[in-house]
Amino acid sequence: MASNKKQSFLHGAALLAGATAIVKVLGALYKIPLGNIIDDAGFGYFNTAYDIYSVLLMISTAGLPVAMSRMIAEAGSLGRYGQIRRIYQTALCIFLGLGVAGTVLMTGFCRPLANWMNSPNSWAAIAALGPSALLMCLTSAFRGFFQGQGNMRPTSVSQVLEAICKLVVGLGLAWFIMKQKNDTALAAGGAILGVTSGCLIATLYMYGAYSRARREMPGNTGGVSSFGQTAKQLLAIAIPITIGSAGLQIITLVDAKVVMSRLIGAAGFTQAEADSLKGVYNFAQTIFNLPYAFVSPISISILPAITAQLTLRNARGARRTEESAIRIMGLITMPCAVGLMVLAQPIMGLLRGYTGETLATAGNLLAVLGVSLVFTSVVLLTNTMMQAHGFVYLPVMNMFIGGVVKVIVNYILVGNPNINIQGAPVGTLCCYLCITVLNLFTMQKVIRKSHNVPKHLLKPFIASLIMGGVAYGMWRLTAAVTGSRLVQCALPIAVAAAAYVILVIALRIITYDDCLLLPKGEKIAKLMRIR
């Protein structure tokens, strides 16, 4: 049984990882040219809408899918299929209420929200993104249903469909509006409509997948709790998680407002200059989020796997799943973090075309965010582990403390005219470093035989440092012999990636179980002679 659960987790993680890879490539094909179509100011409007949307999305969807996944995993391990149906129905009702409220707020109050964010031209983007609040709530209900049963295929397919639609519709509308009206504010709204249309397609697909799964599910075996009891249990798990996730998003939203107000006020920039600087930072965040998102499939997959194993009192199986997740997280994030630090300038120069002082600023922003990548990934995994073990309130407190640190650091640094926007990623770094320390300390205290996370990350760290040296050397070499930005960026990445693979094999970092996390994992293990 333990082996089956482990394999289910590994298969689910591999499937989501593959889908995430496709989604992130499509996302890059969407956001990178988008930044060039609507310029830095328009990209800032785009991200302002997302900052507001993210808060509402977290309030609506952060805790409930986790609660659904955990409760459905428990019910499924005991064969209580009637209770699985009841959990879904109850969660859907809650989702509908939250989604409608979020949509009304964003569409009906788009101009006041834009003014409050010190970005009045972002109103069109905020209004266009409003319907997504309801659509994502519906999609989250379906995804929670499937993820609780260890079935990650519908989630994976829906994410790819959403990304394709966002790419085609969003870029098309942004380009058309800029060509016809040359209005960055409206173009940002058009780009956001691509996101909304993608959410609609994902929702329709997930509804079809749920309808088929419902017909194939066994009859109502086992006891079925009342609607009120189920809702109470869902909310008991979801609320603390929501408070933690939404609390950090709220702090991030307030922080975005603080950044803009400090740029315009204490730092002495005009509205247009502040919009442009915020847009440069937002673009750096886009690149930063690409590798970070590859850890999400792991965290999503391990929650139901760990929960089911703990329900069956299989502590050893739960521990092995957690250790595999930590190692894979390190294998992914460590080289990405070092790569972003070392190659920040050539990456930003290639993807956005920055030059001179702007390139130096953009490179510094991305380099600091690169350092943050490791800590954000550790936070994501440790939060999931504590939630799976039933400690849902502890991550909340740690996230809140980190968020407060972020606001304070940004208030001080961004308001300094000599630092200005370069203080924003420092605030992010301090935030997640603080949460990482608190989470590791908390896990040591509350979870018996807690994992030595730094030990699991030591070998990937060593391999990544050597890889970083190779990447830096190749960048300097290519910069000396060619003026091609593509060559200066692509060749160091390719050589460094090859060096990292060799180091992973030589240092025996990866195990057989870890290979199974990857698509075609058995073939990879055989090729690398790992047993």
At 136-152, the pLDDT tens digits run 888 888 888 887 777 77
- CA angle, residues 291, 295, 300, in degrees to nearest 5: 145
Mean pLDDT of 36-56: 81
Please give the mean pLDDT across all residues of the chain: 82
Distance of alpha carbon 76 from alpha carbon 70, whole angstroms: 10
360, HSE (Cβ side, Cα atoms, 13 Å): 3
pLDDT for residue 79: 75
Q: What domain range includes position 329?
A: 2-527
User: Tokens standing for 379?
Assistant: 């936070």
Mean pLDDT of 69-85: 79
pLDDT tens by residue, 112-132: 988 888 888 888 888 888 898
**Residue pointed to by tokens 């988008």:** 34
Distance of alpha carbon 197 from alpha carbon 435, whole angstroms: 35
DSSP state, residue 222: S
Distance of alpha carbon 107 from alpha carbon 171, whole angstroms: 22
Mean pLDDT of 97-116: 90
pLDDT tens by residue, 241-283: 777 666 667 777 777 888 888 888 888 888 888 888 888 898 8
The set of residues, in sequence order, having a beta carbon less than 8 Å from that of 358 and lying 6+ positions away, is: 280
Q: Which of 233, 306, 279, 238 is nearest to 46 (CA)?
A: 279
The set of residues, in sequence order, having a beta carbon less than 8 Å from that of 407 and lying 6+ positions away, is: 251, 254, 255, 258, 427
- Count of domains for the chain: 1
pLDDT tens by residue, 312-327: 676 776 777 777 778 8
Q: Which of 221, 222, 234, 13 is nearest to 140 (CA)?
A: 234
Question: pLDDT higher for 30 or 427?
Answer: 427
Q: Which of 8, 187, 151 is nearest to 72 (CA)?
A: 151
Question: pLDDT higher for 289 or 500?
Answer: 500
**Looking at the chain, how many residues does it have?**
531
Banded pLDDT at 3 (limits 50, 70, 90): very low
pLDDT for residue 368: 94
1, HSE (Cβ side, Cα atoms, 13 Å): 13
DSSP state, residue 511: -
pLDDT for residue 302: 65
pLDDT over threshold 70, residue 220: no
What CA–CA distances, in Å, run from 330 to 320, 322, 355, 506, 509?
16, 12, 33, 16, 10
Largest CA distance in the chain: 72
164, HSE (Cβ side, Cα atoms, 13 Å): 10
Distance of alpha carbon 454 from alpha carbon 513, whole angstroms: 20
- CA angle, residues 143, 148, 149, in degrees to nearest 5: 105
pLDDT over threshold 50, residue 4: no
Q: For residue 177, with 0-12 CB atoms within 10 Å meaning exposed, 13-18 middle and 19 or more buried, which class applies? A: buried
pLDDT for residue 247: 65
